[in-house]
Amino acid sequence: MTDTRQKQGKSLFIRTYGCQMNVYDSERMAGLLKPLGYSLADAPDGADLVILNTCHIREKAAEKVYSELGRLKKLKADKARQGEAMKIAVAGCVAQAEGPEITARAGYVDMVVGPQAYHRLPELLARAARDDGDILETDFAVDEKFDRLAEREAEGPTAFLTIQEGCDKFCTFCVVPYTRGAEVSRNVDAIVAEARALAAQGVREITLLGQNVNAWASPPPAGEAGDAWGLGELCRHLAKIDGIERIRFTTSHPRDMDDGLIAALGEEEKLMPYLHLPVQAGSDRVLKSMNRGHTAEHYIGLIEKIRSARPDIAISGDFIVGFPGETASDFEETLALVEAVDYSSAYSFKYSRRPGTPGAAMPKQVAEPEKDERLARLQALLERQRQSFNEAQIGKTLPVLFEKTGRHEGQMVGRSPYLQSVHVSASQSMLGSIAPVKIEGITPNALAGVLVKDNEAAA
Ligand code: SAH
Ligand code: SF4
Ligand code: F3S
């Protein structure tokens, strides 16, 4: 089949892997390419430009990229047979970590661009159009990146906003300090300008993003005197923007959870009662070997302090099982920590050996079946906690922000303050509004509720 229509614009397909920061970056890449005539397509078939925005965090994540590239190679050849070009770009953390390997293994890739260099995509595209050589751009230029990004277009009532990038913590299992570079904070004025622009387009909830979001620090806004601000002050400041009703932030590190931020969680109503605070393991020996810089007791103490400031807060976490040297009794300590904290939700993973990280070279790597068994036990416990947290909402009336239409006719999907999905019968006109919903039941992955009429809510 040949398409004889004159092409008005060019089509762009972006596939995003990994964390929310990559979701944000993909959105910004699309925004950057729009003035060049690229509009987003739903599938890679026939696209003029395909970008894979990749993740390097675990071995499986990185492998997916190469299998996807294999499929794209065929699509590129199909398009070439029609006399047209498909350019392929690999962006994100695999690009940063394995740039030269990608160009060696997949010669048909046109551009490799790291997470701190994607603002240069327009130039790279121009270069790719001129020659067929490999283009590799993996400098760290965070400040320049944010300065060069185009105006933001909102895509619904919620939005991510990157305020901090990179990591100086060097946990011994993790690639992020190498793929994202050193910790950098954006300045208050740039963040406020982006938040205002989002609010003006109807965004009601912003999620501030950073690999170590609570390490964010910056001088006060232009014209204001005083000491550097931390995340608590930033959240209080953003809460003053008209239209922004909810503020979240992720991911926090226990070492940077300061009193100013805890106080803000207790006092600022627009800050949602949900905190993702990864701990990874419950044994001090393992925590030390992971270079986390805190003990299990310190973490549990922090949780207690946060709960006394905001009693209803939902705590979420990340866990790694089978880190090198983790014994059966170390693992029991992880289970004990989970029991002590009582999580509303959590992510848990088998340790994955990442090239170039200290953990990969450590002795006493844990056997795969052992990791499987520990992961299953941990996940069963976390799942019980998640279900009971969800069950505890039944009968309560929660403010829900309506984010999208549901799968069923007349159904809308929103979020509770605790980040649970809530299914409600409601009209599409509710999109973007926050309304009280009485929770009546739970499904495996969501809450179900009914809209409370104004007079009932007041009663
Ligand atoms: N900056 C955040 C998140 C980093 S990556 C933080 O410090 O918490 C997200 C999660 O992936 C981590 O919290 C960790 O649980 C997991 N992870 C990172 N490296 C891993 C590895 N090598 N194997 C398995 N899980 C890993
Ligand atoms: Fe990785 Fe640790 Fe940094 Fe988080 S704090 S990004 S887990 S090195
Ligand atoms: Fe993955 Fe990079 Fe995010 S490695 S988790 S995409 S910071």
| Residue ID of nearest Cα to ligand 2 atom 5 | 169
- How many angstroms is it from 431 CA to the middle of ligand 3? 31
| pLDDT value at residue 1 | 40
Strand partners, 248: 207
- How many angstroms is it from 451 CA to the middle of ligand 3? 38
Q: For residue 120, is it within any domain?
A: yes
Residues lower than pLDDT 50 in the chain: 1-7, 458-459
| pLDDT value at residue 68 | 96
Q: For residue 246, is it within any domain?
A: yes
Q: Is 235 annotated as a binding residue?
A: no
Please check whether residues 94 and 152 belong to one and the same domain: no
Which of 22, 253, 318 for a ligand 2 pocket mutation test, highest count of atoms within 8 Å of Cβ?
253
441 SS3 class: strand
| Burial of 210 (C-beta count, 10 Å sphere; 0-12/13-18/19+) | buried
| pLDDT value at residue 137 | 83
Strand partners, 229: 218
| pLDDT value at residue 2 | 42
Q: What is the pLDDT of residues 222-247, one digit of tens each?
A: 889 999 999 999 999 999 999 999 99
Among the bound ligands, the one closest to the CA of 321: 1
Residue 253 CA from chain centroid, whole number:
14
Please check whether residues 173 and 248 belong to one and the same domain: yes
Please check whether residues 175 and 203 belong to one and the same domain: yes
Q: Which domain holds residue 284?
A: 144-391
302 with 292: CB under 8 angstroms? no
- How many angstroms is it from 279 CA to the middle of ligand 1? 10
Residue 207: cis peptide before it, omega within 30 degrees of 0: no
Please check whether residues 46 and 59 belong to one and the same domain: yes
What distance in Å separates the CA atoms of residue 433 and residue 420, rounded to the nearest whole number?
16
| pLDDT value at residue 8 | 61
Q: Where residue 422 sits, what CATH number does that domain have?
A: 2.40.50.140
- Within 8 A by CB and 6+ apart from 447, the residues are 390, 393, 416, 420, 421, 422, 423, 439, 441
Please check whether residues 110 and 128 belong to one and the same domain: yes
| Residue ID of nearest Cα to ligand 2 atom 2 | 171
Count Cβ atoms below 10 Å from residue 30 Cβ, excluding itself.
Answer: 18
55 CB within 6 A, ligand 3: yes
- How many angstroms is it from 11 CA to the middle of ligand 2? 35
Which of 56, 140, 178, 212 for a ligand 3 pocket mutation test, highest count of atoms within 8 Å of Cβ?
56
Please check whether residues 82 and 101 belong to one and the same domain: yes
Candidates 145, 169, 141; CA nearest to 31 is: 145
Q: Is 392 left (phi over 0), alpha (psi -120 to 50) or beta?
A: alpha
Share of the chain above pLDDT 70, in %: 96
Q: Report the domain count for the chain.
A: 3
316 CB within 6 A, ligand 3: no
SS3 track for 138-196: CCCCHHHHHHHCCCCCCCCCEEEEECEECCCCCCCCCCHHHHHCCCEECCHHHHHHHHH
Distances (CA, A) of 338 to 37, 70, 133, 218, 377: 50, 41, 52, 34, 12
What distance in Å separates the CA atoms of residue 92 and residue 404, rounded to the nearest whole number?
28
- Within 8 A by CB and 6+ apart from 252, the residues are 212, 213, 214, 275, 276, 277, 278
Q: What is the pLDDT of residues 258-308, one digit of tens each?
A: 999 999 999 999 999 999 999 999 999 999 999 999 999 999 999 999 999
Q: Buried b vs exposed e over 160-171: b needs ≥16 C-beta within 10 Å?
A: bbbbbbbbebeb
39 with 48: CB under 8 angstroms? no
- How many angstroms is it from 213 CA to the middle of ligand 1? 14
- Within 8 A by CB and 6+ apart from 196, the residues are 241
Q: For residue 294, is it within any domain?
A: yes
Which ligand 1 atom is the nearest neighbour of the CA of 276? Answer: 8
Task: Among 83, 118, 141, give the residue marking a domain's end.
Answer: 141
Q: For residue 422, is it within any domain?
A: yes
| pLDDT value at residue 150 | 72
Please check whether residues 123 and 208 belong to one and the same domain: no
Which of 21, 165, 183 for a ligand 3 pocket mutation test, highest count of atoms within 8 Å of Cβ?
21
Pocket (CB within 6 angstroms of ligand 1): 57-58, 173-174, 176, 211-212, 251, 253, 278, 280, 318, 320, 349, 351-352, 354
Residues belonging to the chain: 459
Task: Among 141, 163, 190, give the residue marking a domain's end.
Answer: 141
Please check whether residues 103 and 159 belong to one and the same domain: no
